[in-house]
């Protein structure tokens, strides 16, 4: 299927207190994204730290996000697992709670075959009516969703596209070539947002847009209008921030970045740690250079 997602989607952080999810802060962050023109909110993806959340917390975050957004942007829920039955159940629950779509990372640690990947996504596809997005990030999962497998997924009725974060542009081009007109390609790597849009990607699923949603949206709009001079200018400005946001493992830097902007993002849950002081200063300097008001 095509047409599910265009423009900018934000891979949302989940703000925590010592007692649980900080829903007041999450609401402020959702409002900030909507004011910035973000087209979709991706919740409970890698950036949202679902690996260290309870099922009750996850469901509460889905309910809250659906209600707060009130159809002003799409809600896409991360449901991937290294246990197919768990991914299927998570997808069903997300649909029941009002999600517009689901995002399923390739199974991690198990390191299944391409046949296993196809069966995993087929199970998710058959379990729900809403669109699903496959997420390829081999640096985290140890598994690479190959272009020929991506092409096979296009036969599934609700396969919307692939969030591509392999970092391999040759593979990205091959995947786009194979799925073009049948499903969509979304950038899952901020440093490669513009190149992926230029080969036919329809959207970015961005970590950086937690911090600067208006700027990331402007990048996608410029690319869609083929205004490449403007798009390159925006991408050039954002590149140092993309680097700073991945100077430590995601979401450690972006979470601290939201604190720097005055949001109560809290700290990542263990085993993740708070951003190192030198990296925090680098992030603050980079945000200030982009005109952001650093308040903390």
Round to whole Å and give the CA distance between 90 and 104.
10
Cα 133 from chain centre: 11
Q: What is the pLDDT of residue 295?
A: 82
Q: What is the pLDDT of residue 201?
A: 97
Q: What is the mean pLDDT of residues 57-69?
A: 98
Q: What is the mean pLDDT of residues 239-250?
A: 96
Q: What is the mean pLDDT of residues 185-208?
A: 97
5: pLDDT strictly greater than 80: yes
Task: Domain 7-218: state its class.
Answer: alpha beta
Round to whole Å and give the CA distance between 250 and 136.
16
220: pLDDT strictly greater than 70: yes
83: pLDDT strictly greater than 80: yes
Q: What is the pLDDT of residue 265?
A: 96
- Residues annotated as part of the active site: 135, 163
In the chain, what are the domain boundaries? 7-218
Name 53's Cβ contacts closer than 8 Å, sequence gap at least 6.
14, 21, 44, 61, 269
State the pTM of this model.
Answer: 0.95
pLDDT by residue (tens digit) across 154-183? 999 999 999 999 999 999 999 999 999 999
Which residue intervals of 136-251 are DSSP H helices? 138-141, 147-153, 169-179, 193-198, 213-224, 228-245
Q: Tell how strand 159-164 and strand 184-187 pair up.
A: parallel
**Three-class DSSP category at 260:** helix
Round to whole Å and give the CA distance between 119 and 107.
11
Q: Tell how strand 16-17 and strand 20-21 pair up.
A: antiparallel
Q: What is the pLDDT of residue 296?
A: 61
Name 114's Cβ contacts closer than 8 Å, sequence gap at least 6.
145, 146, 148, 149
């Amino acid at each position: 299927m095509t047409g599910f997602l265009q423009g900018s989607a934000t891979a949302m952080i989940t703000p925590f207190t010592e007692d649980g999810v900080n829903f007041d802060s999450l609401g402020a962050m959702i409002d900030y994204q909507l004011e910035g023109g973000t087209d979709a909110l991706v919740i409970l993806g890698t950036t949202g730290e679902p690996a260290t959340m309870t099922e009750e917390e996850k469901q509460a975050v889905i309910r809250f996000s659906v209600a707060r957004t009130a159809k002003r942007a799409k809600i896409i829920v991360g449901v991937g697992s290294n246990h197919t039955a768990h991914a299927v159940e998570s997808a069903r629950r997300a649909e029941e709670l009002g999600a517009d779509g689901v995002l399923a990372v390739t199974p991690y640690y198990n390191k299944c075959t391409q046949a296993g990947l196809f069966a995993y996504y087929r199970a998710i596809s058959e379990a729900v009516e809403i669109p699903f997005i496959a997420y390829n990030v081999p640096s985290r999962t140890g598994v690479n969703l190959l272009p020929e497998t991506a092409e096979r997924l296009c036969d599934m009725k609700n396969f919307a596209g692939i969030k591509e974060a392999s970092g391999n542009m040759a593979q990205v081009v091959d995947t786009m070539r194979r799925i073009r007109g049948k499903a969509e390609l979304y950038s899952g790597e901020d440093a490669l947002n513009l190149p992926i849009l230029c080969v036919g990607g329809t959207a970015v699923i961005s970590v950086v847009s937690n911090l600067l949603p208006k700027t990331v949206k402007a990048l996608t709009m410029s690319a869609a209008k083929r205004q490449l001079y403007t798009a390159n200018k925006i991408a050039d400005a954002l590149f140092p921030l993309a680097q700073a946001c991945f100077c430590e493992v995601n979401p450690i830097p972006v979470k601290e970045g939201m604190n720097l902007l005055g949001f109560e993002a809290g700290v990542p849950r263990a085993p993740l740690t708070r951003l190192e002081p030198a990296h925090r200063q680098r992030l603050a300097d980079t945000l200030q250079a982009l005109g952001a008001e650093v308040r903390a």
